[in-house]
Amino acid sequence: MKRKAQMQMMETFMVLLVFFILLAIGIYYYFQFSAKNIEETGQEVAILSGTTLLSVVSSMPELQCSIRAREEGGCLDAAKMTIAVEKGLFSTEDYKPLFDKKRVYVNTTYPKEAFISNKCLDNLAYKTPGCGLWILKDYQFKKGKRAVSTPVSIYYPDKGQFMAGKLVIEVSS
């Protein structure tokens, strides 16, 4: 009889053990699935905020060009961008909520020949920090990154000239 009771106890424990093993496997896969979902949501949010940022950056008074006291949409002022880069403006605490963990830059796409080595604009001011490339906010991505971009026009106030460019925002993927 003692043996029978032990068997009964063992059975109960085995049932419980199997139940908990199955439960643990279920929970493990459930959490893996949830974690993947959260990661995907995070990526979607990052891409969405990058896309939002494209329109925000191109209309920021700190960068937007104004011609004869009239603001131009989708147009960035080359002088303002150069100053912002020199001052490291967008790496300051004030801009952190907007630019945190993002790399933001503008490059000229046309005309290309104007920005090759010594053929950079003769105004030496634009040679720093680079000819036709403004890294407004730098960030070193530990994992992968994804980029969103939009075409912009770049206005050189000292020349009164426009050039075509691209505003690029990189977010982690």
Partner 1 sequence: MGKKGVADPVFVYIFALVAGMIILFFFLSFSMKHKGTANLMESGELASGMDNSLAAFSALGQGEKEFEFPFETELFIDPGSVGAKSGAKQFSKPTRSIIYSPKSLKGKKVAAWTIRWKAPFSITNFFYLTTDKDRYFIVYGNDHSNFASNFMKEEIPDKIKPSNKLFGMNEFSALKAAIRASPPTANLKVIIFGDDVKAAVNNQLSEFNGKYSVVEIIPLEEPEDNFEYDFGYVQFEGEAKRAYIGRPMMYGGMIAENAEYYDYSYTQAMDRLRNVTQIYTEKIRYIKAVGNCPQTGYNSIEGLLSQLQSDSEESPESVVVSKFMNNIKAVEDMNKDIMGAGCQALF
Give min distance, CB of 84 to partner 1, in A. 7
Q: Quick one: which of 119, 121, 128 has its CA closest to 156?
A: 121
Contact status: 62 vs partner 1 (CB under 8 A): yes
Asked if 113 and 119 count as a contact pair (C-beta separation under 8 A), the reply is yes
Side-chain-side CA neighbours of residue 168 (13 Å):
17
Asked if 155 and 77 count as a contact pair (C-beta separation under 8 A), the reply is yes
Query: What is the C-alpha separation between 69 and 74, in angstroms, rounded?
Result: 16
- At 110 the three-state DSSP class reads strand
For partner 1, the binding residue among 75, 76, 77, 171 (CB under 8 A) is: 77
For partner 1, the binding residue among 123, 128, 161, 173 (CB under 8 A) is: 123
Give min distance, CB of 116 to partner 1, in A. 22
* Interface residue list for partner 1 (CB under 8 A): 1-6, 8-9, 12, 16, 27, 38, 41, 45, 48-49, 52-53, 55-56, 58-59, 61-62, 64, 66-69, 71, 77, 79-80, 82-84, 86-87, 89, 94-98, 123, 125, 157-158, 160
